[in-house]
Structure 1
Amino acid sequence: MHPAAGPGALLLGALGVVFGDIGTSPLYALQTVVRSDGLPINEASMYGVISLIVWSVTIIVSIKYVSVIMRADNEGEGGIMALIALVQGAKLRGRMAKVALVALGIFGAALFYGDGMITPAISVLSAVEGLKVASPALTSFVLPIALAVLTLLFVIQRFGTHAVGRLFGPVMAIWFAILALAGLAEVVREPGILRALSPTYGIQFFIDHGAVSFLTLGAVVLAVTGAEALYADMGHFGWLSIRKAWFFFVFPALTLNYLGQAALVLNSPEAIENPFFLLMPEWSRLPMVLLATVATVVASQAVISGAFSVTRQAVQLGFLPRLRIRHTSSAEGQVYVPAINWLLYVAVVALVVGFGSSEGLASAYGIAVTGTLAIDTVLFFVVVRTIWGKPMWIVVLGAAAFLLVDLSFFVANLPKITHGGWFPLALALVVFTLLTTWQRGSALVTARRAQTEGKLSDFVEDVRTIEPPVFRAPGTAVCLTSSVGGMPLALKENVEHNHVVHEAVVVVSVQTLRIPHVHPDDRVVVDDLGYRDDGIMHVLARFGFQDEHNVPGALRLAVEKGLEVPIEIAEATYFVSRITIVRGNAPGMSGWRKQLFLAMANTSTNPVDVFCLPEHRIVTIGSYVDF
């Protein structure tokens, strides 16, 4: 599930992958909060803002995610797709309730992709903009440098999360140490700022500033970005490593830095132009631009690797077509999805060029983050009630408390819609449409294909009674079928056209369960289909949604369990059905969505790659299905 390494290595790796997003929020969070709302620079307002930031991070990240929601893992895997899988397996009253909750979860996953696009853009831009402070003459180079850094970031994704974590782990350890030391130095000069840790200042801020204080939350949310990515990346390093790194290292460093920035602004109000870099000694600002740029690359890594995890789970759960997914290490869950990587890259470049500055991007940030926070809360408490069996009063109180915070942030971000916030919402609607269209279209095509294929049991009987008898060719044929008990179209077409059946026929059904991993002992179920003398047998290969679908490996396990006739896996011929999907007049889906489904189907990866079949032993037989 995560790398077989010692606790220290896991902590360092987690620093290099999981905490980059939230760890670079000090670059722009406080600056955006104060500048966007025109708040007066005085003790009351600064104490109130810092209190809001610190307690927002405490409630949303420390309590909600790290202490509570991350306990709702699906066999160690986290993220909104894992919550969807748990909800799908829950016992709910009424089918429509489950459909609505799954749809809500899918929309949350769609919002997460929006976060995955904005985070790299705003993080890298905010770091490179430090050049304006360190050396104003370099201002014109900000955009080209940011684009070059982002290009490098997406190029190195192919080397995998584990390699990136090992590379960036030490860098982020240095980053958080500097955040803590720089903040501590200013706190020592202005110890009164520690009073801002009291929640009473945040409450008083709301009383004094009315509607403006509520809108301030729209910028305060920048301090908690990365919470969902932290949850989605849980399968890479484990809950315990993430929890230790957060409470003993990351959280204290962030708190000290925010306190230090606020103390600096109180003493020097002009520092609000860029309090993060002005917090550093003048001689260190240019080196800090370089370190901050690397750190923001790590911030981007957190959401990119989270997007890979969510994509893989979406494919395995049937919300996306089969995509090319590469395992980047021996550790489960560490994958690279080329298509998603380059789509994200194109979108990020468009955002950087289109918005031009981190301040502009900040207006688009928040909607996606807060929407996902609220949806996670709803799905989590459904799990608490239906799977964990907790009393209703606990569920109601817990959900109400978290949703009060989540929805307050979400509503506070609604005014941003006209200033760029429309982008993540529009993107989420597009992704939601794609995910639901593929899910619905797949169900219709599977049903139509089952009608065309017929039953495997009928085929077995026909082979025994057909006259004249079919020719039993020497060797082993492995035929994949789309459903348990279904007849493989490739096998059916071979018999109808060639009147041939191999001496040994293994029909394989691949089943993806709603758990991340299936133990090898439970991987295969062997069935002789009622006769032990005809050489026709069925193997059900079961995989978790985070497992590699290795069919030859499953067959080797089936041989160990015992088949009715001995077979040589290395010498087997694999018959693959190449199904052409044709738009028909079947009800259940509108015409434009059928066209969209067909377009998505054309992007599907070759099943030879998906099921790890040996390319030199493949026979492909074509057929078509209309829907």
Structure 2
Amino acid sequence: MHAPQSSTSRRRLWTLTLGAIGVVYGDIGTSPLYAFREALAQCAGDGITRSEVLGVLSLALWALIVVVTIKYVLFMTRADNNGEGGVLSLMALARHATRGKWPIVLILGATGAALFFGDAIITPALSVLSAVEGLKTVPGLETTMTLPVVLGVTIGILVGLFAIQSRGTASVAKLFGPICIIWFVALAALGVWHILDAPEILQAFNPAQAVRFVAGHGTTGLFVLGAVFLTVTGAEALIADMGHFGRLPIQLGWLGFVWPALTLNYLGQGALALSTMKAAQAAGTPFTNADWFFIMAPDPLRAPLVILATLATIIASQAVITGAYSLTQQAIALGLLPRLAIRRTSASQIGQIYMPVVNWLLLCGVLVLVFVFKSSSAMAAAYGIAVTGTMVVTTCLAFIIAWKAWNWSLGSASLFIMPLLAIDLIFFGANILRVTEGGWVPLLVASIMGAIIYTWIRGRREALRSSSTAGTAIEDVAAALAARPPSMVEGTAVFLTQDFAHAPSALLHNLKHNKVLHRSNILLTVVTAEAPHMAPDERLATKRIDDHFLRAELRYGYMDRIDVPSDLGRGEGLLSGRGGTSFFIGRNAIKLGTRPLLPKWMTMLFSFLHRNSADPVLYFGIPANRVVELGSQVEL
């Protein structure tokens, strides 16, 4: 009786696992293009030895084991907020667990979000550029693929990728899984083929090789650690995309397919380096670092491998771009960023969105990086800081969640998480050493984003406080209108406000200038809950003030699509009756006060963000022909 259902469940599980392989692992799956090469390059100054190849590879293998497998796949995938993952979901869960009383939680979440944007501009630039550089290894193209040609091809691919985002990714995404399956099979096959050339490379599984290397190389060892971290970039996507695929498909995809393929490929690159070293020593020629990934393939297969690698890097870039949209949407809902235009590109998938401002800003950042650094090797130093910083943030949030949400004792939480945090901090410290080589890029992007987030949070708080100070209690207004009723008109007026206690400025302006009051008036506040989703029948809460005034609160999850008219209409009789419904929206103009509440630069930035935020009519899903906008000034 249960066989068909069991068969359907298994089919769905494998479908989700295939999708996860195509989306979640695109970033970490392209790390073999450059990670081992860049790590080995850090110790090439005085010549590369056999023990150094084994030591570097051992560090890479154990980074995959400890950071990705133990920390993320087995532990962090359990730190979900009703199925949703990612740094802002962790922040929301930690805020709920601490009842919003710990400022450090908000600081950590904002820092993680800011660092992610640094990562989001580096990933497409580095991954696509490294794949296109592989054309230099194709026989016959060595002289053709000059720097201008490489940059031109890279820019063409990147511009095309960002240009098609507005059409949605639902149809293209169906190809992601199969292409990534082929990619990881190719990684594994190339690895196995070359492991046979130098089977002693399997000694890299001994962690003593990694320990001896770090202990014996001093500062150089730290630089190598920073480069080795490139092997685990993209691990954040495991939890960020958990809401789309679920924990089990992500775990199955990694443990059963992606991890073995990556391990075999890194072993193959190490084995190729060792066999090349033996051949060089036998011939009496110097051994030099090389583009190990691409020269693993025989000459006839080099061009197809470059094409496959380019497709894989496009998929990795797509995952980061989509992640940037999703993170920005969450940040807006949680009040960290101003409203931005969000377009839905799929009628069935709520996660399929397109944000024009984010898209074109990312493209500008990506193109600047390509023009400034010009090669993947030069850009590699910029990559690690953003990712390691984000990992430190997520580990700190996981500690708070384990302690406060899961009710672990302080000792148990510390005993389990502090070693993971120590590893993250070691990697972060190793990457900080490379600030001058390019690590300043994500720090600069994160600083700009951090300033915007801080300005928006503080500016909104001060604007609300300023409006409340000058406002009049709604109960007093209702009582005064009941004592001396103005002219009444049929219909319902909905006043959007952030302050429940005071009369909205739009209501007061309507009374002052139009000298009328609607028969039914709703003071509506839209609130974002700490959960990713709210059931439609649980969103609306109301409280009557008198016969003409009603308070209403709509609560949405930070991943929900906002549709104010539909959800407000669920309230019995709220939007029914004669005269129709009008939505009154206050348009505040920010003005520098005589006694400023904020530094001048912050007021100017907040005013710019406020003035250029997306139209609330579109954001709240309100029909434009039902809206009345009334302006006022707020001094900061």
Bin of the TM-score, shorter chain as denominator length: over 0.9
CA-to-partner distance for each residue in 1:301-348, whole Å, 9 max, x for gaps? Answer: 222222212211111111111111223333333322211111110000
Alpha-carbon distance in 2 for matches of 1:28, 1:392: 40
Q: In the superposition, relative to structure 1, how do residues 50 and 613 fare at CA in structure 2: closer, same or farther (>3 Å)?
A: same
Q: 1:447 & 1:383 partners in 2: Cα distance?
A: 31
Q: Which residue of 2 aligns with 1:250?
A: 258
For residues 273 and 288 of structure 2, what CA distance do their matches in structure 1 show?
5
Match for residue 477 of structure 1? 493
Q: Which residue of 2 aligns with 1:116?
A: 120
Q: Which ranges in structure 2 are unaligned for 5 or more consecutive residues?
A: 1-10, 278-286
Task: Report the Cα offset of residue 161 of structure 1.
Answer: 4.8
Task: Name the SS of the counterpart of 1:505 in structure 2.
Answer: strand
Select the residue among 505, 510, 520 that pairs with 2:536: 520
Of stretches 316-325 and 499-508 in structure 1, the one that deviates more from structure 2 is 499-508
Instruction: Report the AA paired with residue 413 of structure 1.
Output: N
Aligned to 2:111: 107
User: Structure 2 CA distance, aligned partners of 1:557 and 1:272?
Assistant: 67
Q: Check conservation: 1:230, 1:302, Cα contact below 8 A.
A: no
User: Which sits farther off after the overlay, 583-592 or 68-77?
Assistant: 583-592
Query: SS of the counterpart of 1:421?
Result: helix
Distance 1:271 1:239, change over 3 A: farther
Compute the displacement of 1:459 (Å).
2.5
Identity %: 43
Evaluate the alpha carbon distance shift between residue 253 and residue 556 of structure 1 in structure 2; reply closer, same or farther with a 3 A threshold.
same
| Aligned pair partner of 2:205 in 197, 202, 207 | 197
Aligned mates of 1:344, 1:352 — CA distance in 2: 12
| Of 418, 443, 449, the match for 1:425 | 443
Mapped pair 1:546 → 2:559: yes
Cα–Cα, structure 1 residues 305 and 422, in superposed 2: closer, same or farther, change >3 Å? same
The amino acid that maps onto 2:611 is N
Tell me which amino acid in the other structure corresponds to 2:90: L
CA distance in 1, matches of 2:110, 2:602: 17
Instruction: Using the TM superposition, give the Cα deviation of residue 517 of structure 1 relative to its aligned residue in structure 2, in angstroms.
Output: 1.0
Larger mean CA deviation between 266-275 and 513-522 belongs to 266-275
Look up the match of 1:273: 290
Cα deviations across residues 203-257 of structure 1 (Å, max 9, x unaligned)?
Answer: 2222443432232101101101111233222223222222211111111111110
Per-residue deviation at 1:88?
A: 2.2
Partner of 2:590: 581
Residue of 13, 19, 27 corresponding to 2:25: 19
Q: Does 1:36 align with 2:36?
A: no
Distance in 1, Cα, partners of 2:98 & 2:310: 47
Closer, same or farther in 2 for the Cα pair 1:77/1:445, shift >3 Å? same
Q: What residue identity is the alignment partner of 2:157?
A: V
Alpha-carbon distance between aligned partners in 2 of 1:555 and 1:12, rounded to the nearest angstrom: 39
- Report whether the alignment pairs 1:324 with 2:332: no
Give 1:157 deviation, angstroms. 2.1
Quote the residue 1:315 is aligned against. 332
SS at match of 2:589: strand
Is 1:491 aligned with 2:511?
Answer: no
Whole-angstrom distance in 2 between the partners of 1:410 and 1:58: 18
Match of 1:612 in 2: 621
Cα distance in 2 for partners of 1:617, 1:209 equals 70
> Structure 2: how far apart are the matches of 1:126 and 1:430?
27
CA–CA separation in structure 2 for the residues paired with 1:236 and 1:160: 16
Deviation at residue 443 of structure 1 after TM alignment: 0.5
Instruction: Quote the Cα distance in structure 2 between the aligned partners of 1:180 and 1:585.
Output: 67
The answer to whether residue 412 in structure 2 is matched with residue 360 in structure 1 is: no
Partner of 1:591: 600
Instruction: Name the CA distance, whole Å, in 1 between partners of 2:255 and 2:167.
Output: 29
Asked if 1:376 is matched to 2:383, the reply is no
Shift of 1:402: 0.8
Per-residue deviation, residues 410-437 of structure 1 (Å, max 9, x unmatched): 1111221111111111221111111011
Q: Secondary structure at the match of 2:434?
A: helix
Q: 1:133 aligns with which of 133, 137, 149?
A: 137
| CA distance in structure 1 between the aligned counterparts of 2:602 and 2:171, rounded to whole angstroms | 40
Deviates more, 1:364-373 or 1:17-26: 364-373
Q: State how far apart, in whole Å, the 1-side matches of 2:330 and 2:578 are.
A: 33
Q: Deviations over 1:104-153 (max 9, x none)?
A: 33122211111111111110000000111012133122110000111111
Whichever residue aligns with residue 105 of structure 1, its letter is: G
Distance in 1 (alpha carbons) for counterparts of 2:578 and 2:386 = 52
Asked if the contact 2:543/2:551 (under 8 Å) is kept, the reply is yes
How far does residue 40 in structure 1 lie from its aligned partner after superposition?
4.5
**Structure 2 residue 245 is matched with structure 1 residue 237:** yes
The equivalent of 2:7 in structure 1 is none
Q: Which letter does structure 2 place at the counterpart of 1:507?
A: L
C-alpha contact 2:495 2:507 (8 A) present in aligned 1: yes
Specify which of 53, 59, 79 is matched with residue 72 of structure 1. 79
Instruction: Tell me the secondary structure at the aligned position of residue 109 of structure 2.
Output: helix
How far apart are the structure 2 equivalents of 1:279 and 1:240? Answer: 33
Which segment is superposed worse, 111-120 or 43-52? 43-52
Matched residue SS, 2:237: helix
- Give the match for residue 82 of structure 1: 89
Q: Which residue of 2 aligns with 1:460?
A: 478
Distance 1:181 1:568, change over 3 A: farther
Structure 2 length as normaliser, TM-score?
A: 0.92
Equivalent in 615, 622, 625 of residue 631 of structure 2: 622
**Unmatched segments (≥5 aa) in structure 1:** none
What value does the CA root-mean-square deviation take over the aligned residues?
2.0
Alignment partners' CA distance in 1, 2:334 and 2:171: 27
Q: How much does 1:271 deviate?
A: 7.9
Q: Distance in 2 between matches of 1:471 and 1:279?
A: 83
**Aligned twin of 1:176:** 184
* Inter-CA distance 74–484: structure 2 relative to 1 (3 Å threshold): farther
Shift in CA distance, 394/587, structure 1 to aligned 2, threshold 3 Å: farther
From 555, 580, 592, give the equivalent of 2:568.
Answer: 555
Shift of 1:587: 5.2
- CA positional deviation for 1:384: 0.9
Post-superposition Cα deviations, 1:445-490, rounded to whole Å, max 9, x if no partner, equal: 1122233442322232222111xx3121122222212223432222
Distance 1:492 1:161 in 2: 46
Distance in 2 (CA, whole Å) between partners of 1:555 and 1:403 is: 45
Gap change, CA 1:152 and 1:568, over 3 Å in 2: farther
Contact (CA 8 Å) 2:500, 2:551: kept in 1 or not? Answer: no
CA contact (8 A) 2:60 2:228 kept: yes
Question: Residue 552 of structure 2 aligns to a residue in which SS?
Answer: strand
Distance 2:208 2:170 in 1: 43
Could you tell me whether the CA contact under 8 Å between 1:14 and 1:165 is conserved in 2? no
Instruction: Provide closer, same or farther for how the CA distance between residues 167 and 13 of structure 1 changes in structure 2, counting only shifts above 3 A.
Output: same
CA deviation after TM superposition for structure 1 residue 193, in Å: 2.1
Is the 8 Å Cα contact of residues 271 and 278 (structure 1) preserved in structure 2? no
Amino acid at match of 2:291: N
